[in-house]
């Protein structure tokens, strides 16, 4: 390789003044033989073992601009206005503020109708959000956006729906026995409605009363009832298959109903957690699907703040329960999260499910991720037992595996041992969604998750004669209890296993016969364990710790439309109402306490000894980002004389967030400690680390060891966090990324530091509370560059951690755009730099001919927490005819969903819809640097196209989760191996190197091969990582 002959000259270390390099010296060079250009290990390591394929039938998400850009016809939009929503101000101030918002809305409505005479107002909200929801012609939106009163116009975002044993377990029975049952506490259930005819909810219990009830009107004497005292239906019976059709009757009905009835019964049914509460049935979720209308949710929040809709919030409910959400939700931009925070200013506590997306980094959803919400994780039922599957043979995979029994299947009463069959006998029907053509008698049958109900899979196996049905997950995560889809008959036991265990079974089958056994005598008690499907934090976007608390989530509760029937109801949807009921008990006992005090004391008194999974399988204590303050213990909360919360956020935890630490850092937060007793108390404190390996001193909390809190008074206690990594005491090596480790909970556990701060009164009682704490620090480099007058360029790392330098040719730049407003339902993806680099590869790497790997590098002005919610789409026009032929883009393994958590670089043929992925996306989380890597063969090119085949490139950055405005860099041009500028370091590395922490200067050359083969190439782009100071993750030099 011709340009490497000068490395001997570069090897001498430079001794230079530390001046920042604005433009490096360049060295003319001939292009020579590029085929030996080495590929960095980081790029090669991102290659998948096996390529992933997909067929995309609907290309509109790529060929049309995201969100509202380019829409035609009628659209539903949320129009946010400049006047603030009504907050916690009282009396005249609140009335005037609401009137100002209504006046502003009326003017905007008139303006919208001037643009589209058919524009319909679907909803107006002033209390929790100053917004008007329109059904309007898309062609009118550009003009409407010019209205100075309009802050943002965004598409409506919809959401998904996520006792005799559990009520005593969490301490609720003990509280009820003390005379507190939630009487006088008002709870709004934003869900699918409530079957108020059910006996458990104060109804007659006569199924005919339900069957004869018209859900579109209120028949005399039917609603409201003594238990369900109010409510409204904001969706009707046909949405989303038709328009929302609000009516005054919030009856839980339809083929997909029942969710809200279960939730209401757990909260306040006859044997619920708080049987004395008044329930408000606020129907915001569909009768015919599991979707919840974004419009209806905003209207429901408004209703909860003002149930009689007279504009006065004196009748606002005390608690809102939302057993729903969207995974990987970012509360900064989510309008429902904004509404939750605004509702808290009115004195309303919102309890929300954390979600059922499993133990994956950042999977917890919105609105539970809102700062003021009480997000709820799911823990196991006290009687739950971890089922076990034994692989008897072959020896290579023999052993015990976790298998979650599905309670809607037939119980396992005797041991069953049989050969394993994957799919049908003819090697088909691997998902089990079609009837099996072969006889499965004598087999235990494995099928894949997906495409149909869990119950249909097991029913089909049962009908075909299978002995046991096993559902194998197809994405990372723990197995869980699947929903009962109602398919029957099911006369055999059914189980669910993890993707890893399913793959192990398949690998055994590939080599021969696999014998599997299930035995009812084998099982591990799961009391005080997490449920595998419960979502994990931290919260995406904010890196705040979450969920906040846990609760059992599979109570037997009321079944809608049956009069008296019950069934098990699982997921975090069932856990949230356990906490809502607990909060209601405390509000009954302590009516003068604020929502923040109720939230805090529940978190302060949870059971912290909760396991992530059984020790038998290598389990460990659940991380704070999974369990928060612990599993709810409402009796301990009731009896606690102390409570503690973050003075600024009002949360019962201390979230220090994410930090790139390149030197050292000290942060301080302040806790409010409240003493509810009449006498002063002396309190001692100590800090607990969740895991021993976190306590070596690189992250240290300091809290006053002793202090006194006056009777019925409060004190403020500072909590300092010191992050002081050293060479001999570094932070944990950064293992997190959005690609190969994007769904791996263990790397998050390894990188985060967490635990509890304990506060204990000194005296005879020794009452104790705790405050969870959490921080996610990353040891970072700090790259500096300089130049000697002699022409030698140098670079050094001044940070406490090693840092790579990944170099590209700069082909595009974009200015910094304004950030969206909070709650705007639009994310922030703001392009800054784009670069390209080509690496030749031999036959066998990409295909059976010599080819190349190409990487597109993107740096953005703001960082992305996880690549799952951000999509960079490179449109390639291979023949320069003005029509794009391919799209190179990063998406989840599931492509158009977020069910996996690992991010791939896909190449999509825009003509055929064929898509494949050969590489993981390179993104270290909490970074503005993303690299998309693909093989030349994926776009129809190979080594024969070096230095000759030119194609045009446009790039679009969009928020995959919310849509919202996109940023573009257009009219770029690329030639394989056509990079003009190339970096070689004095240590022998080309294009990529790693600098040790606190390293001395290292020389480098920038070779200029001349001639603009990449027509838009203007210089160099260097990416730094993992971790860097703010605004120093990338450097671009304009050299042309």
Which CATH code, of 3.50.30.30, 3.40.50.11890, 3.40.50.1220, 3.40.50.10470, is assigned to 385-525? Answer: 3.50.30.30
Q: What does the pLDDT average to over 940-957?
A: 96
Supply 294's token pair. Answer: 């974004």
Distance of CA 797 to the CA centre of its chain: 33
Nearest to 494 by CA among 479, 509, 504: 479
Burial class of residue 5 in the structure, from the number of CB atoms within 10 Å of its CB (0-12 exposed, 13-18 middle, 19+ buried): exposed
Q: What does the pLDDT average to over 790-802?
A: 89
3-state SS assignment for residue 195? coil
How far is Cα 365 from Cα 852, in angstroms, rounded to an integer?
A: 40
Q: What does the pLDDT average to over 442-463?
A: 95
The lowest-confidence range among 329-338, 417-426, 707-716, 857-866 is 329-338
3-state SS assignment for residue 8? helix
Question: Residue 211: CA atoms inside 13 Å, Cβ hemisphere, count?
Answer: 5
Q: What does the pLDDT average to over 117-138?
A: 82
pLDDT of 877 above 70? yes
In contact, 19 and 789? CB cutoff 8 Å: no
The CA R_g of the chain, rounded to the nearest whole Å, is: 30
pLDDT of 524 above 60? yes
**Which ranges constitute the DSSP H helices of 135-284?**
141-145, 166-169, 172-177, 207-211, 259-268
Site of tokens 């089922």: 387
How far is Cα 33 from Cα 35, in angstroms, rounded to an integer?
A: 6
Q: Highest-confidence range of 41-50, 173-182, 472-481, 824-833, by mean pLDDT?
A: 173-182
Q: What does the pLDDT average to over 486-513?
A: 94
Q: List b or e across 214-253, with b for residues whose CB sees 16 or more CB atoms inside 10 angstroms.
A: ebeebeeebbbbebbbbbbbbbbbebeeeebebbebbbbb
Q: What angle do CA 311, 316, 317 make, to 5 degrees?
A: 155
pLDDT of 43 above 70? yes
User: What's the pLDDT at 163?
Assistant: 65
In contact, 356 and 554? CB cutoff 8 Å: no
Strand 665-675, strand 556-558: pairing: unpaired
How far is Cα 885 from Cα 909, in angstroms, rounded to an integer?
A: 6
Handedness of CA 45, 46, 47, 49 (dihedral sign): positive
The tens digit of pLDDT for each residue in 744-760 reads 999 999 999 999 999 99
Confidence of residue 159 (pLDDT cuts 50, 70, 90): low
User: What's the pLDDT at 1029?
Assistant: 95
The more confident residue out of 555 and 552 is 552
Q: What angle do CA 887, 890, 891 make, to 5 degrees?
A: 110
User: What's the pLDDT at 36?
Assistant: 64
The lowest-confidence range among 264-268, 341-345, 958-962 is 958-962
Which residues 6+ apart lie within 8 Å of 165 measured at CB?
A: 381, 382, 383, 552, 555, 556
Which residues 6+ apart lie within 8 Å of 771 measured at CB?
A: 603, 604, 629, 644, 645, 652, 653, 654, 671, 756, 757, 759
pLDDT of 156 above 80? no
Confidence of residue 412 (pLDDT cuts 50, 70, 90): very high
In contact, 179 and 640? CB cutoff 8 Å: no
Write out the residue limits of the CATH 3.30.70.80 domain(s) in the chain.
Answer: 67-157
| Percent of the chain residues topping a pLDDT of 90 | 69
Confidence of residue 658 (pLDDT cuts 50, 70, 90): very high
The tens digit of pLDDT for each residue in 28-38 reads 777 665 556 78
In contact, 379 and 529? CB cutoff 8 Å: yes
The tens digit of pLDDT for each residue in 503-515 reads 999 999 999 999 9
Number of Cβ within 10 Å of residue 620's Cβ equals: 13
Mean pLDDT of the chain: 90
pLDDT of 211 above 70? yes
User: What's the pLDDT at 1003?
Assistant: 94
Q: What does the pLDDT average to over 692-705?
A: 94
User: What's the pLDDT at 485?
Assistant: 82
In contact, 806 and 992? CB cutoff 8 Å: yes
How far is Cα 833 from Cα 1024, in angstroms, rounded to an integer?
A: 13
Q: What does the pLDDT average to over 578-589?
A: 98
Q: What angle do CA 889, 539, 188 make, to 5 degrees?
A: 115
Q: Helix count (H) and strand count (E) of the chain?
A: 18, 51
Phi and psi at 332, nearest 5°, equal -65, -35
User: What's the pLDDT at 157?
Assistant: 63
In contact, 226 and 197? CB cutoff 8 Å: no
User: What's the pLDDT at 553?
Assistant: 86
Nearest to 854 by CA among 883, 811, 895: 811
The more confident residue out of 428 and 376 is 376
pLDDT of 965 above 70? no
pLDDT of 133 above 90? no
Residue 295 belongs to what H/E stretch? helix 294-305
User: What's the pLDDT at 790?
Assistant: 63
User: What's the pLDDT at 88?
Assistant: 43
Confidence of residue 573 (pLDDT cuts 50, 70, 90): confident
CATH of domain 67-157: 3.30.70.80
pLDDT of 978 above 60? yes
Write out the residue limits of the CATH 3.40.50.200 domain(s) in the chain.
Answer: 162-381+531-775
Cis peptide before 419 (omega within 30 of 0): no
The more confident residue out of 233 and 11 is 233
The tens digit of pLDDT for each residue in 51-83 reads 888 876 644 444 323 446 556 678 877 787 767
User: What's the pLDDT at 554?
Assistant: 77
In contact, 304 and 348? CB cutoff 8 Å: yes
Supply 549's token pair. Answer: 């608390």
Which residues 6+ apart lie within 8 Å of 687 measured at CB?
A: 701, 703, 755, 756, 757, 758, 773
pTM equals: 0.85
In contact, 579 and 319? CB cutoff 8 Å: no
Confidence of residue 13 (pLDDT cuts 50, 70, 90): very low
Q: What fold does the segment set 162-381+531-775 form as a domain?
A: Rossmann fold (3.40.50)
Write out the residue limits of the CATH 3.50.30.30 domain(s) in the chain.
Answer: 385-525
User: What's the pLDDT at 824?
Assistant: 66
């Amino acid at each position: 390789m011709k340009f490497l002959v000068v490395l001997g000259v570069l090897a001498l270390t430079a001794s230079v003044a530390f001046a920042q390099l604005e433009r490096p010296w360049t060295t003319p060079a001939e292009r020579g033989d590029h085929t030996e250009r080495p590929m960095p290990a980081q790029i090669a390591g991102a290659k998948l073992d096996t390529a992933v394929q997909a067929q995309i039938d609907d290309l509109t998400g790529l060929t049309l601009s995201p969100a509202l850009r380019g829409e035609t016809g009628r659209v539903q939009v949320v129009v946010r206005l400049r006047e603030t929503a009504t907050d916690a101000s009282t009396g005249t101030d609140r009335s005037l503020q609401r009137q100002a918002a209504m006046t502003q809305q009326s003017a905007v409505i008139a303006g919208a109708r001037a643009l589209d005479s058919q524009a319909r107002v679907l909803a107006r909200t002033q209390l929790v959000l100053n917004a008007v929801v329109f059904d309007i012609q898309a062609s009118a939106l550009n003009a409407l956006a010019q209205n100075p009163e309009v802050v943002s116009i965004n598409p409506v975002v919809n959401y998904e729906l996520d006792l005799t044993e559990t009520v005593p377990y969490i301490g609720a029975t003990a509280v009820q026995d003390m005379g507190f049952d939630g009487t006088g506490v008002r709870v709004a259930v934003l869900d699918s409605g409530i079957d108020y005819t059910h006996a458990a909810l104060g109804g007659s219990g006569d199924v005919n009363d339900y069957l004869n009830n018209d859900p579109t009107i209120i028949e005399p004497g039917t609603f409201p009832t003594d238990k369900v005292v109010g409510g409204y239906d904001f969706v009707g019976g046909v949405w989303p298959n038709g328009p929302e059709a609000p009516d005054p009757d919030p009856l839980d009905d339809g083929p997909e109903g029942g969710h809200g009835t279960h939730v209401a019964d757990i909260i306040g049914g006859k044997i619920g957690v708080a049987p004395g509460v008044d329930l408000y049935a606020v129907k915001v979720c569909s009768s015919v699907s599991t979707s919840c209308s974004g419009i209806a949710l905003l209207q429901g929040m408004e209703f909860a703040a003002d149930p009689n809709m007279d504009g006065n919030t004196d009748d606002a409910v005390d608690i809102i329960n939302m057993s729903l959400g969207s995974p990987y939700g970012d509360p900064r931009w989510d309008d429902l999260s904004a509404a939750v925070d605004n509702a808290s200013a009115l004195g309303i506590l919102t309890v929300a499910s954390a979600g059922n997306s499993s133990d994956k980094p950042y999977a917890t959803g919105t609105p539970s991720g809102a700062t003021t919400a009480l997000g709820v994780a799911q823990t196991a039922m006290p009687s739950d037992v971890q089922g076990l599957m034994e692989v008897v043979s072959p020896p290579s995979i023999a052993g015990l595996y976790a298998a979650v029994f599905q309670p809607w299947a037939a119980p396992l009463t005797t041991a069953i041992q049989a050969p394993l069959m994957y799919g049908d006998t003819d090697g088909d029907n691997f998902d089990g969604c079609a009837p099996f053509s072969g006889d499965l008698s004598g087999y235990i049958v494995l099928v894949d998750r997906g495409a149909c109900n869990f119950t249909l899979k097991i029913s089909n196996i049962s009908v075909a004669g299978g002995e046991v049905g096993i559902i194998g997950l197809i994405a990372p995560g723990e197995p869980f209890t699947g929903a009962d889809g109602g398919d029957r008959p099911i006369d055999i036991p059914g189980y669910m296993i993890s993707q890893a265990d399913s793959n192990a079974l398949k690998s055994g089958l590939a080599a021969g016969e696999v014998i599997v056994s299930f035995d009812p005598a084998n099982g591990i008690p799961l009391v005080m364990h997490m449920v595998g499907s419960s979502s994990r934090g931290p919260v995406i976007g904010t890196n705040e710790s979450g969920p906040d608390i846990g609760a059992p989530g599979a109570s037997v509760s009321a079944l809608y439309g049956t009069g008296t029937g019950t069934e098990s109801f699982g997921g975090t949807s069932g856990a949230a109402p356990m906490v809502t009921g607990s909060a209601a008990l405390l509000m009954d006992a302590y009516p003068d306490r604020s929502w923040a005090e109720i939230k805090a004391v529940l978190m302060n008194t949870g059971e912290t000894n909760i396991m992530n999974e059984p020790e038998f399988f290598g389990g460990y204590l659940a991380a704070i980002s999974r369990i928060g303050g612990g599993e709810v213990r409402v009796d301990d909360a009731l009896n606690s004389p102390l409570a503690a919360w973050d003075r600024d956020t009002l949360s019962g935890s201390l979230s220090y967030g994410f930090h790139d630490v390149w030197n050292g850092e000290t942060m301080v937060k302040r806790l409010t400690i409240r003493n509810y007793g009449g006498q002063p108390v002396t309190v001692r404190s100590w800090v607990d680390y969740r895991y021993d390996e976190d306590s070596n001193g690189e992250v240290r909390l300091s809290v006053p060891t002793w202090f006194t809190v006056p009777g019925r008074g409060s004190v403020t206690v500072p909590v300092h966090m010191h992050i002081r990594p050293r060479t001999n005491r570094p932070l944990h090596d950064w293992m997190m990324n959005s690609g190969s480790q994007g769904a791996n909970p263990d790397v998050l556990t390894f990188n985060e530091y967490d635990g509890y701060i304990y506060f204990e009164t000194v005296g005879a009682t020794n009452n104790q509370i705790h405050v969870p704490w959490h921080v996610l620090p990353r040891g970072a480099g700090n790259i500096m560059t300089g130049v000697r007058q002699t022409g030698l360029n140098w670079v050094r790392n001044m940070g406490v951690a090693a840092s790579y330098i990944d170099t590209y040719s700069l082909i595009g730049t974009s200015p910094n755009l304004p950030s969206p407003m909070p709650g705007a339902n639009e994310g922030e993806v703001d392009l800054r730099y784009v670069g390209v680099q080509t690496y030749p590869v031999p036959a066998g790497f990409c295909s059976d001919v010599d080819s190349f790997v190409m990487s597109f590098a993107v740096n953005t002005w703001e960082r992305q927490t996880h690549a799952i919610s951000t999509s960079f789409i490179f449109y390639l026009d291979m023949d320069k005819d003005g029509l794009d032929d391919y799209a190179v883009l990063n998406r989840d393994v599931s492509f158009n969903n977020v069910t996996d958590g690992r991010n791939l670089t896909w190449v999509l043929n825009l003509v055929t819809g064929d898509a494949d992925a050969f590489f993981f996306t390179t993104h270290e989380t909490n970074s503005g640097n993303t690299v998309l890597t693909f093989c030349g063969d994926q776009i129809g090119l190979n080594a024969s196209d070096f230095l000759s085949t030119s194609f045009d490139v446009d790039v679009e950055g969009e928020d995959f989760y919310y849509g919202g405005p996109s940023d573009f860099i257009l009219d770029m041009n690329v030639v394989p191996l056509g990079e003009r500028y190339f970096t070689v370091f004095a240590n022998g590395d080309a294009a990529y190197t790693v600098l040790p922490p606190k390293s001395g200067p290292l020389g480098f050359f920038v070779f200029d091969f001349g001639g603009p083969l990449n027509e838009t190439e203007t210089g160099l782009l260097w990416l730094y990582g993992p971790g860097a100071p703010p605004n120093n993750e990338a450097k671009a030099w304009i050299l042309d």
